Structure 1
């Protein structure tokens, strides 16, 4: 009887709830006045006696709030790193939603709307007081103040591990209360004050924010750009906006590859970061942003101008991708793109079919030039598709192993040059997922990808065989050695379940798999996962991007496997693709079947190949993250013992942990513990647990900080390292890990958590002032 009545009761219930919301809003307006959504369209500069946002509030919110409220995955889309983000407010709409059937409207701060009132029209609710402008109302009608005050009134329970009422899952249901119903929210969830699930602000910190809000949240704006830095910006904008077709094609190519980066034109310690943007206005005029969903979408204006726009948000490690623009870089650009003798008769258009594939759009630029451009800062470009447009995403990352090495082909080697030219002609015909837009269907695009990929593989295989007949089989000379000095020659990629990190060098013990990336593969992965990927896209777009990446990973792995003796390739690939016969058949079909020209001498050719590659890279190989060369032997030896732990016990360890070790003199040293989860294969979509191989789990220990999302923080003395190793080796249950954490972890509930966090950030700044940034605590465990 009840199920039959439910549909008839649902509509009255919804009407009743809506009526309650209206009553609450009307009551709030009677007390505080009607809302003025334009109140924070522009900031009001503080007086000399008022609190400074730039000097006092922004640094404080950075250390206490931005560590959870940054990037697209900020709870309720509340970005607290800039005044404009605070003025924008909150939205219950999810950016990361792998189930949406239709593409969502983009909500990029500083791009898709520029004023608070414009964000209100897009459904964002305020966290500042937009009602009567009195000091009292600036508190009581401010969601930001009320959320911070709630934590002051109801601090964390004094326990080591918070009760299950605290939900820290990334897919938890969002609570995005509006100020009108905050009383009900606070009554129902008194322990949900901010910072959520972490210690509150000190009284002095809270009082500072309260005074700022009471004064109407003034902001003096960013500091003026230093004159020398502005001259460099002007110089680069002149260079990027030449009038010839050759210059314009170069600038479009640069923009589509650099748009996600933090660009630095000054080497000063406090230099500003810039974003390369498209503008409808030329240099010398205010930037009029051309905000399109993708960087290669039709701008809708007769001509775009490429401008450097100062980034107004704080640097966070999870999205920080630094790239230097200096005189040396400009000289390289001229040599790669302007000096070669080629003609651009007409500029390419922006139709989705061609614009989504750079091999078609930029076919007139010499392949060697494009290849050199990517190799010169290979870590930056790989970083773009490892962490650029996505702050989280198991769906996107379960296509790669937990740790693997990446090498690159040498653009000046004859066999590589021949293969690049031949394979590019076929690759330019491919239709990448972005060509179908962000509202892609589920079946038709996938069939097209599969058919095109099969055709491409056949053409690629034939081309590789022709090259082998002409120049010989795959040889070590095909691998780029960094020209003897460039540390981008070899990279290590770490996957941390739903995030990832890329670093220079061959870090850790030899991995199970490795990639060799040629130019065509490099460009296609970049456009698949960076330039063409849309986090607001529907399930079809996201699914096809993930499935297409299967093809590209197989291609990179096969490129590496072809350096091995032909006799061992099948067994090697079979081991990598255990329990998935279909994927194994596909990857075996990518092997050109030509014998390697590498002179192997051992009965373990894969390990020997890694040794030969290390020798080839020689002085270009970055060894800063090598534990074996850590200068303090008293720490190095016990940490090497910890790194030797392997197997199922590591299932209980976090993905990423930071370790502070005090040496015998009390000086702190910092290390990262990275769990490398074993897999039979990485081809199972949404069924990753089916492919796990616990006995193959490994632990990589490196000096410094790797990763941006620590799951755990440990603090101990050097004398305790053997005990930590034994505890990790003996893990067999959650209770075992609880005992480990009781002894070594700096839990989120510790009273001095924020003091320890400040120490960590200071250490990161010392060890990597360019690569560093604020950490993200959204994945911090509660165990």
Structure 2
């Protein structure tokens, strides 16, 4: 249905009245950018922005769109990278790479693609808070059609209800009018001004001075640090502190400090630069999107600790390593001169950041990338003083050649032989590891071999939550006892990082992506084998057989090194459920390191609520806890919930509490790349919920008053079929067509700004479902 008011606006625009001509054109930074941030950025951000139209910054809008998708699991050859701010610097250069403008047109504003898409979107009103027509395809399965301006008429005929913003409550008349006036005035985009404070400039100088020392030892350390921080949004401040004025990225630049940054254009951070370079800190421009906002704090204490970690011992370096295929494939050989303890401790100090890089980074965008892991599990780390790679130089030299990683070669014909080589070496490594630890720890591993965060570092305990086609990680032990817990030592931690982050090419071929995914499967198995050493030897085989049911048992026999069933554990066990017993003791023993105690999912009393929050939040905790840690067999509503549901509860004064509800899917095993449905055990699905915005991709949202919470919980408990669930959605759900959809959606970001200011960013709604 067309709006009469909208027709008047368009007629006025087309006729070009004098009043309109005299109106001042809106400012991009002041008037236009807030509209794009509020109504467009939730879809158009990061590598998976539809048609590569990235709207985090003015540069992305100016670059325009492309018909070549970044994510393509079937391409036989790698494509040239199209990283904004790196692979081209001017509009003309982007046009040479096949990008076309969404603003400019030979026919003026009326011919621009953005204008046409906005008009098409503004022509339709969807019924308030009703389901969208099923023919509108949403989610990752959507095949984005990326018409250029000349192809738009065909697009509009084929997709009359798919203007922009796509399939959601759209622009207000005022927003639409503002955008029209801006485009009519030439769509001028002013450059964003970034003014750094004196303190920021001083800290930049200190970090760049450390990274650009000319001696060989400093150069090798700087290379290692760059390869581990290049994905970070760096900021000057304390962990979990106030929101900083600016974030920065660490770049290799062909220009020295004090000059404008010219990024080195290599595909990977460990590819060889063609010119001399310097390490530089570059301010992040534009608006932050949560899924790529992986933060890392820089401050004087961390600078001092980093220098001490890497330079306090008199280690020697005969010559700097190069960037050969072998050196890029095996960081343990490339950086062998740097004490392994320094490298591992730096990663432990910032473990949540590093796990985030490979859980939330570019590799984990689709189901094939994430179906190698369970939906909810915990991760702990081996103490450096009990890691033989750190303490035994002879062992380190023996196993380092076995720790190379596949995937650097993108040739499809070489994939099979490369995989056999690297998987074989990995299994040889596990056998050598078993033998070495059996000799070094004849009584088996004890609790002292689990890293205790030096008594204060909450990075020691992490929870990973896989949400079908993406994942998230948080400090603390969230949820009920998981089916598996990972124990990561340095070789495992570093290989995971290099496999999924440094060596991963999002623009790579199917061969590269498959090898990356398959090696990640070996990494998971390695973390499981590390964990099994802590269990009674007679129970290890039953436990791993439970993890690898059905076809997984075949995978155990043909793909993985055999587990150790001969050597004991130093931990006494008293039950026949050692995994739960281990996890229960983990919670008790390391309680002071647990960033998020969980009385909601692991309630052991009638008062299932956090202690250090206001009474009304405790009341909300207690109410939602009645849904927590339930199986689908006694809470059928779980089968109708998407992977990630946000629950917003508002008290009488307008304060809000946000809960993230995770649907944990259960599988007979997670050992294969395909056929997840064939391994799916829906009757065992569970629900984990916890306060906070704990995921980047909400799939749906419920909104209710505190006084309505008991009714909501009761009705969720009473759901038996889709009709029952739809009635709950009708009364409490925020569908894409809700008149206040954007207010509620951005309330999630507001919550992060209030509770975790350094982590806040615009969430992604590409996966928001049509319930």
Residues 1:280 and 1:178: Cα distance change in structure 2 (over 3 Å): same
Indicate which of 232, 235, 243 corresponds to 1:261. 232
Contact 2:352–2:462, Cα closer than 8 Å, also in 1: yes
The range that moved more, 71-80 or 152-161, is: 152-161
Aligned pairs for 1:304-383 within 5 A: 304-383=277-356
Change in 2 beyond 3 A, CA 1:665/1:228? closer
CA–CA distance in structure 1, aligned partners of residues 549 and 486 of structure 2: 18
Q: Matches of residues 667-678 of structure 1 in structure 2 within 5 Å?
A: 667-678=655-666
1:69/1:78 contact within 8 Å kept: yes
Contact residue 156 and residue 191 of structure 1 kept, 8 A: no
**Match of 2:379, SS?**
strand
Structure 2, unpaired ranges of 5+:
1-13, 15-22, 601-607
Deviation at 1:572? 1.0
Task: Specify which of 116, 120, 124 is matched with residue 150 of structure 1.
Answer: 120
**Matched residue SS, 1:683:** coil
Distance 1:340 1:296 in 2: 26
Report the counterpart of residue 584 of structure 1 in structure 2.
556
Cα contact 2:693–2:748 (8 A) shared by 1: no
**Which of 29, 51, 54 is the matching residue for 1:54?**
29
Q: Partner of 1:386 in structure 2? A: 359
- From 107, 110, 117, the equivalent of 2:82 is 107
Q: Which residue does the alignment assign to 2:270?
A: 296
Compute the displacement of 1:437 (Å): 4.0
* Contact map agreement 1:439 1:537 (CA 8 A) in 2: no
User: Any conservation in 2 of the 1:240–1:247 contact (CA below 8 Å)?
Assistant: yes
Q: Is the 8 A contact 1:297 1:352 kept in 2?
A: no
Structure 2 match to 1:633? 618
Matches of 2:219 and 2:346, distance apart in 1: 17
Residues 211-250 of structure 1: pairs in structure 2 closer than 5 A: 211-216=181-186, 217-250=188-221
Q: What is the distance in 1 between the residues matched to 2:226 and 2:481?
A: 36
Deviation at 1:233, TM superposition (A): 1.4
Distance 1:424 1:665, change over 3 A: farther
Instruction: Return the alpha-carbon distance in structure 2 between the equivalents of residues 719 and 292 of structure 1.
Output: 56
Question: 1:307-359: per-residue Cα shift (whole Å, max 9, x none)?
Answer: 11111132111111110111011111111112211011211100121212211
Q: TM-score, length-normalised on structure 2?
A: 0.91
Q: Deviations over 1:389-409 (max 9, x none)?
A: 236111110000000000001
User: Does the C-alpha gap of structure 1 residues 224 and 693 become closer, same or farther in structure 2, counting only changes over 3 Å?
Assistant: same
Residues 114-129 of structure 1 mapped to structure 2, 5 A cutoff: 114-129=89-104
Please give the per-residue CA displacement for 1:470-507, whole angstroms capped at 9, x wherever unaligned. Answer: xx311110000111110000000000000000000000
The 1:311/1:666 distance shift into structure 2, 3 A limit, reads: closer
Decide whether aligned partners of structure 1 residues 597 and 288 sit closer, same or farther in structure 2, where only a CA change above 3 A counts: same
CA deviations 1:117-136 (Å, max 9, x no partner) are: 111111111101154xxxxx
> Offset of 1:441 from its aligned partner?
3.5
Deviations 1:608-644 (A, max 9, x none): 2222222332312212665344243322222111104
The match for 1:282 among 246, 250, 256 is 256
User: Unpaired segments of 5 or more residues in structure 1?
Assistant: 1-30, 32-47, 132-136
CA distance in structure 1 between the aligned counterparts of 2:332 and 2:387, rounded to whole angstroms: 20
Q: Which residue of 2 aligns with 1:400?
A: 373
Give the whole-Å Cα distance in 1 for the aligned partners of 2:411 and 2:472.
Answer: 26
1:194 and 2:164 aligned:
yes
Q: Kindly indicate whether the alpha-carbon contact (under 8 Å) linking 2:36 and 2:55 is maintained by their aligned counterparts in 1.
A: yes
- Whether the 8 Å CA contact 1:656–1:709 is kept in 2: the answer is yes
Q: 1:70, 1:316 within 8 Å by CA — same for their partners in 2? A: yes
Instruction: Identify the range of structure 1 (500-509 vs 259-268) with the bigger mean alpha-carbon deviation.
Output: 259-268
Shift of 1:740: 2.4
Deviations 1:698-732 (A, max 9, x none): 10010011101000010123343344334444545
Change (3 A) 1:663 1:243: same
The number of residue pairs the alignment matches comes to 730
Q: Which range is displaced more, 433-442 or 356-365? A: 433-442
1:516 aligned to 2:487?
Answer: yes
Q: In the aligned structure 2, how far is the partner of 1:395 from the partner of 1:732?
A: 31
1:409 aligns with 2:347: no
Alpha-carbon RMSD across the aligned residues, in angstroms, is 2.3
Contact 1:52 1:220 in 2 (8 A): no
| Separation of aligned partners in 2, 1:625 and 1:244 | 49
Q: 2:10: which partner in 1?
A: none
CA distance in 1, matches of 2:68, 2:132: 27
